[in-house]
Amino acid sequence: MCGIVGYLGDKPSEYIILNGLKKLEYRGYDSSGLSILTNNGDILTEKEIGKIVNLENLIFKNDISQYHSKCGIGHTRWATHGEPSKENAHPHTDCTNSISVVHNGIIENYSSLKDDLINKGHKFLSKTDTEVIPHILEDFIKEEKDILKALDRTLSHLKGAFALGILIKNSNPSLIGVKKGSPLILGIGEGEFFLASDVTAFLDYTNRVIFLQENDIVLVDKSGYSIFNNCKKIIRKEEVIRWNSSQAQKGGFKHYMLKEIFEQPEALYNSIIDKVNFEEKSIIFDEFDTEFKNFLKEDIKIVISACGTSWHSSLIGKFLIESMSSIPVEVDYSSEFRYRNRKLSKKTLIIAVSQSGETADTLEAIKRYKGDNKILSICNVVGSSIPRESDFTIYTHAGPEISVASTKAFTTQVIIFYTLANYIGRLRDEITEEIWVDNIETLKNFSKLVQDTLKTNSYINKISPELAKYSDFLYIGRGINYPVALEGALKLKEISYIHAEGYPAGEMKHGPLALIDENFPSVVLLPKDRLYEKMIANLNEIRSRRGKTIIVTDEDNIEELNNYSEIIIKIPSINEFLQPILITIALQLLSYHIADFKGCDIDQPRNLAKSVTVE
């Protein structure tokens, strides 16, 4: 995530940038900063940790308006590499303070680039991946007279998906934008230009925009802008935005929850891209040291501790780790685990799973075992309390989740478990080369399948009004999709206030079947896997009791399924281990549209808080 703003015009640049950053605060709020070109032509940089208001206070205190700046860049950060701190906050500059860079996204190969640059004598001040960029550009600007060529050579060294805002001293142009994988938009005003990761940042000044395309470089100076792709000048179509500022903050989506559901292709990609190397068919966890890697090869057990949605992803994690290794895994609710009178052997690894990293029960659970047991956390918020109490942390890189109901945090936790389970299986020599390669290959096109799953949105929107009249729902699944049924039911109840229960389908006859009649619909998770026929048997049990069914499936033969239900949500097919992510996305959309039809306060459901920091 992270938010970028750039400005060149006649207004005080620090004012425009701060205003823009406030609008982008939802993209990251652990630290922020800006660089301006002063009236002496120097670059002045200010950074602060915490909310944008802290940066605003600093700028006011240091009275930077005295520099009458008309051009600058700014950034609001959501930490990925390096904890939230002033040093790690953007912008980052080169050795001569002539180039300043703000960055959204991840530079995958920054570590080797940084080593090379340090060997050449460059000085680094932060732990970020971003800081390599101004230093590489510094070297190429010395060699090339033409900025475009220097930029092109710099970009050819960077691997990953990102967007950049660049400010250069004594240069025409002085403001530059680069789009490669992450969003970047050019705003065109009267004699002024804006760069931003989201139109919200400048919509108060102009609604004329150009959505930059892959590998576009935009050079901006007083006389105008030029866009280049592959060093060739090109023309991109200008568009007019018709959203108002508050709609735009949610990227044009009605609620943050829907926006976050639609962010999943990018969030899932960002979560694994620094771990999986598709060319070398390898998975690397830089987070682990050699001793820990050796520990993972021993005769160990795992206990996973989590709450709510994170507890559901942990159940999928158990399935994945147990499928790919011989390690037995238990999953416990943190609120139970922390009070259980239990002595764990030293050979037990505790994994704490938490989006916020602040959930009180999970935090206390790990504190209790800290020192005696190794603790690994899977977390979304860099520098939060749970990672601080852990020996090792894997971050999910989902970006900030604003909506109380967790969506992208859940699916990114699952993809981390998938990656980790494969890694452990390989480390212990318990999965074959063939399965290993196949599992890595499957990740390659995964974002595309996630995007295809999101295409079910309009169908789900259409079927939801009719479903919103029911007051109870049953969600059933088997195997790895049993926790998905639990998660689907939780999502529906928390945002629509409709009672819903998740069950393993094989349990129907042991009780829940008594509930079924025409007023009690069942959401049936029916992937075409080895348990498909068993699920069909469950469908028959429900249908013969006049129960309404909603089927979520990847089966192509929809005709056959028409006998069981008039509502079939068709999603793409993928291996058994990643199918839960695609099914979950369809269930997130189902809960969302039912709740929206009922007019519920989707982003802030009654009685709930985003971060449960009390017991």
Catalytic residues: 2, 610
Strands 208-211 and 239-240: antiparallel
For the record, the structure tokens of 263 come out as 């962010």
For the record, the structure tokens of 292 come out as 């820990």
Using CB under 6 A, pick the residue from 309, 385, 456, 522 that binds ligand F6R. Answer: 309
Task: Indicate the residue among 348 and 355 with the shorter CB distance to ligand F6R.
Answer: 355
Q: Candidates 103-111, 201-209, 349-357, 419-427: pick the segment binding ligand F6R (CB under 6 A).
A: 349-357
Q: CA–CA distance from 531 to each of 43, 207, 325, 335, 481 (Å)?
A: 63, 52, 21, 33, 10
Q: Candidates 177-185, 308-316, 417-425, 504-512: pick the segment binding ligand F6R (CB under 6 A).
A: 308-316
**Residue 486 CB, nearest distance to ligand F6R (Å)?**
11
* Nearest-angstrom CA–CA distance, 562 and 160: 44
Q: Three-class SS of residue 18?
A: helix
Using CB under 6 A, pick the residue from 154, 355, 439, 549 that binds ligand F6R. Answer: 355
Contact call for residue 3 and ligand F6R (CB under 6 A): no
Q: Is 361 left (phi over 0), alpha (psi -120 to 50) or beta?
A: alpha
Contact call for residue 305 and ligand F6R (CB under 6 A): no
* Nearest-angstrom CA–CA distance, 145 and 289: 44
**Residue 264 CB, nearest distance to ligand F6R (Å)?**
15
**Burial class of 187 by CB neighbour count within 10 A (0 to 12, 13 to 18, 19+):** buried
Contact call for residue 538 and ligand F6R (CB under 6 A): no
Which phi and psi (to 5°) does residue 496 adopt? -110, -10
What residues from 383 to 412 belong to the interface with ligand F6R (CB under 6 A)? 405-406
Task: Indicate the residue among 508 and 589 with the shorter CB distance to ligand F6R.
Answer: 589
Task: Indicate the residue among 406 and 522 with the shorter CB distance to ligand F6R.
Answer: 406
Q: Candidates 20-28, 61-69, 185-193, 303-311: pick the segment binding ligand F6R (CB under 6 A).
A: 303-311
**Residue 359 CB, nearest distance to ligand F6R (Å)?**
3
Using CB under 6 A, pick the residue from 308, 383, 479, 547 that binds ligand F6R. Answer: 308
Contact call for residue 612 and ligand F6R (CB under 6 A): yes
**Residue 336 CB, nearest distance to ligand F6R (Å)?**
14
Using CB under 6 A, pick the residue from 356, 411, 538, 584 that binds ligand F6R. Answer: 356
Task: Indicate the residue among 275 and 312 with the shorter CB distance to ligand F6R.
Answer: 312
Q: Candidates 37-45, 47-55, 336-344, 355-363: pick the segment binding ligand F6R (CB under 6 A).
A: 355-363
* Nearest-angstrom CA–CA distance, 191 and 563: 63
Instruction: Please state, as a whole number, how many other Cβ atoms lie within 10 Å of the Cβ of residue 209.
Output: 19
**Burial class of 459 by CB neighbour count within 10 A (0 to 12, 13 to 18, 19+):** middle
What is the residue type of 491? K
Using Cβ positions, the residue closest to ligand F6R within the complex turns out to be 308
Contact call for residue 447 and ligand F6R (CB under 6 A): no
**Residue 308 CB, nearest distance to ligand F6R (Å)?**
2
Contact call for residue 267 and ligand F6R (CB under 6 A): no
Which phi and psi (to 5°) does residue 95 adopt? -70, -25
**Residue 485 CB, nearest distance to ligand F6R (Å)?**
15
On whether the CB atoms of residues 270 and 106 are closer than 8 A, the answer is: yes
Query: Site size for ligand F6R, by CB under 6 A?
Result: 13
What is the residue type of 51? K
What residues from 570 to 599 belong to the interface with ligand F6R (CB under 6 A)? none
Contact call for residue 314 and ligand F6R (CB under 6 A): no
Q: What proportions of the chain, in percent to the nearest 5, are helix, strand and coil? A: 40, 25, 35
Task: Indicate the residue among 13 and 359 with the shorter CB distance to ligand F6R.
Answer: 359
Q: Which of 476, 553, 563 lies closest to 512, judged by CA?
A: 476
Starting at the edge strand found earlier in the chain, the sheet holding 239-240 runs 43-49, 31-37, 71-77, 3-8, 193-196, 185-188, 208-211, 239-240
Q: x-or-dash pattern for ligand F6R, window 479-498, by CB under 6 A?
A: ---------------x----
Task: Indicate the residue among 310 and 447 with the shorter CB distance to ligand F6R.
Answer: 310
**Residue 475 CB, nearest distance to ligand F6R (Å)?**
15
Q: Which of 418, 543, 531, 439 lies closest to 485, judged by CA?
A: 531
Which residues of the chain form contacts with ligand F6R (CB under 6 A)? 307-310, 354-356, 359, 362, 405-406, 494, 612
